[in-house]
């Protein structure tokens, strides 16, 4: 098999120009997405106000309709019994009926205008939402290309046998990194970012409560405010812990796993996680501790998110020559033969095990739960 050789300097120049162009395009698309998000928030707020105004106008219209009906009945009575009423009473009945009819017509016209505005805002918000999703998708795709261009192809070339394998491997790594960043971005957006936004709104509410209801009510709002801040802090710490548990460097694999699984069980509050170490409690080289921790973390997260398991069993057996891990759950299970080969979770687990020259076995049946067995030899 012939291996292609590249002029690395010329290739670096080409890649550098491509990176600059791609980066510029990414920034422009990002700005478009941000502008659409700002417009989306403004229009959403306006839509909320318009809906409230529609309800208010409808209520007012119902009241006017009732009054106009009564005025028409009064006018009809006066007209039928003209001789019984004075000219002033007749004119007053006519003017009142006419005035209420005019107000009702104006109310109906305003209601129609508000409804049209509401429908128009709905359509515009839908279009903005679609544009935001497309912009995010494009930025994600461009990030994959940009990161791939910035990766060190020379170091990959020492491991891979040919240029095609080098390209495939590089793209896998970048796609995995980008998926992880998207997951982290989604967690931060849905967790701490939303909580902090609520904290800002709640702080404004405290001032209004203090002005309108006095000190005791404001104190209750402050207590609720403190609870919200604690929740945001807890979410931030949890995300940091998922990224890299500091206890892994200080205490080692077994204590970190024990604490992590306990924390996950408390956080989800929907599954029981049982952990047992059947072997020695040794300190391992960092790459082994990190790899085994990530493998167990991925398997447990899959059981919680995808299998929807209520009972998860984690068994760790460590000797001086090998590590054995068993993760078993009672979740929905899946067909191993039909599992997506490009699944980031399974792909990442297999690559980690292969890098440690170990074995990964996954057994699962639909409705019968999943069993993951990992065997890693120690140097």
**Comparing C-alpha atoms, which of 46, 43, 33, 41 is closest to residue 131?**
33
Range picked from 84-93, 158-167, 303-312 for highest mean pLDDT: 303-312
- Predicted local confidence at residue 61, as pLDDT: 86
Mean pLDDT of 196-215: 72
Domains of the chain by range and CATH? 8-150 (1.10.287.950), 246-377 (3.30.565.10)
Look up residue 174 and give its two tokens.
Answer: 């970048």
Distance of CA 129 to the CA centre of its chain: 15
Round to whole Å and give the CA distance between 233 and 196: 10
Look up residue 337 and give its two tokens.
Answer: 């033969």
Does the pLDDT of residue 1 top 50, yes or no? no
Round to whole Å and give the CA distance between 8 and 371: 46
Round to whole Å and give the CA distance between 379 and 375: 13
Stated pTM of the model: 0.43
Element (H, E) at 44: helix 8-80
E-strand spans in 108-169? Answer: none
Round to whole Å and give the CA distance between 295 and 221: 43
- Predicted local confidence at residue 152, as pLDDT: 52
| Range with the poorest average pLDDT among 145-149, 230-234, 265-269 | 145-149
Round to whole Å and give the CA distance between 76 and 72: 6
- Predicted local confidence at residue 2, as pLDDT: 41
Round to whole Å and give the CA distance between 326 and 276: 10
């Amino acid at each position: 098999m012939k291996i292609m050789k590249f002029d690395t300097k010329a290739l670096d120049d080409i890649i550098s120009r491509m990176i600059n162009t791609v980066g510029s395009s990414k920034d422009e698309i990002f700005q478009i997405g941000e502008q659409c998000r700002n417009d989306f928030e403004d229009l959403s707020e306006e839509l909320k106000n318009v809906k409230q105004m529609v309800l208010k106008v409808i209520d007012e219209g119902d009241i006017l309709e009732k009054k106009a009906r009564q005025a028409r009945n009064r006018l009809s009575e006066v007209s039928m019994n003209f001789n019984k009423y004075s000219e002033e009473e007749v004119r007053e009945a006519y003017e009142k009926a006419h005035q209420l009819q005019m107000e009702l017509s104006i109310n109906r016209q305003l209601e129609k205008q508000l409804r049209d505005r509401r429908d128009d805002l709905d359509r515009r918000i839908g279009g903005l939402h679609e544009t935001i999703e497309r912009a995010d998708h494009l930025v994600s795709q461009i990030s994959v290309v940009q990161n791939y261009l910035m990766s060190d192809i020379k170091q990959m070339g020492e491991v891979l046998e040919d240029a095609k394998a080098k390209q495939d491997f590089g793209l896998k790594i970048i796609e995995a990194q980008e998926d992880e960043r998207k997951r982290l971005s989604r967690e931060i957006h849905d967790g701490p970012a939303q909580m902090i936004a609520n904290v800002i709104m709640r702080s404004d509410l405290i001032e209004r409560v203090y002005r309108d209801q006095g000190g005791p009510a404001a104190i209750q709002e402050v207590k609720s405010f403190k609870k919200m801040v604690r929740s945001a802090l807890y979410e931030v710490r949890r995300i940091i812990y998922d990224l890299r548990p500091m206890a892994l460097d200080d205490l080692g694999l077994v204590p970190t796993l024990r604490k992590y699984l306990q924390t996950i069980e408390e956080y989800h509050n929907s599954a029981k996680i049982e952990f047992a170490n059947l072997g020695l409690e040794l300190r391992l080289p960092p790459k082994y501790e990190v790899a085994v921790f990530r493998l167990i973390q991925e398997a447990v997260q899959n059981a919680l998110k995808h299998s929807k398991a209520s009972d998860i069993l984690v068994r760790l057996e460590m000797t001086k020559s090998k590590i054995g891990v068993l993760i078993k759950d009672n979740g929905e299970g899946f067909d191993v033969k039909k599992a997506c080969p490009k699944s980031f979770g399974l792909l990442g687990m297999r690559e980690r095990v292969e890098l440690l020259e170990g074995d990964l076995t996954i057994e699962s049946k639909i409705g019968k739960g999943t069993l993951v067995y990992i065997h890693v030899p120690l140097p």
